[in-house]
Amino acid sequence: MYSVLTRVNAILTYTLSVLACLTFLCFLSTLTVDYRTTAQMNTVKVVVKNVPDYGASRERNDLGYLTFDLKTDLSNLFNWNVKQLFLYLTAEYVTPNNELNQVVLWDKIILRGENAVLDFKNMNTKYYFWDDGNGLKGHNNVTLTLSWNIIPNAGLLPNIQALGQHSFKFPVEYTQTRV
């Protein structure tokens, strides 16, 4: 009746039950932690070009170029339940064609144990800032925001927005020179 396989099964079941309870307690212990912090952003150089899109229509669309400064300290976000942070900088604006436009311009992964104090000067965007038309030229209210996803050991995957944002304007004329 009590064979070796039955005893191994009982021990394995008990061990997995204890691990599941400990994982749930890990999740509960960091459920109420506030993961928001301040971030300071600034645009250094902002230009807009009108270039052909490489899609099937070959229309000319606006392409924005910008360099930015970013300063924030994310080291207080790490606790024993946080494996890594996925940071991303987005630009948000409204055009006549679209009620809401959101473009990811830059991202970075910070692992636990890495330097989480960011002080970047004159950073280029990592991704293109395309508009599906001519909505960037002369646009006077583009807002940069820094957000991050927390990748935990156990629990929810919250999407957090930094306290602080930066609004800027695109020039009213297209840039003809190479950026």
Give pLDDT tens digits for 50-91.
887 776 567 788 889 999 999 999 999 999 899 999 999 999
Show the tokens assigned to 73.
């300290």
Residue 178 is encoded by which pair of tokens? 């190479």
- Residue identified by tokens 């070796």 is 4
The percent of residues in the chain predicted with pLDDT above 90, rounded, is 58
- Where residue 43 falls among pLDDT bands split at 50, 70, 90? very high
Is residue 66 classed exposed, middle or buried when 0-12, 13-18 and 19+ CB atoms within 10 A define those classes?
A: buried
pTM of this structure = 0.84
pLDDT score of 98: 83
Torsions phi, psi for 135 (to 5 deg): -90, -5
| Contact predicate 66/45, CB 8 Å | yes
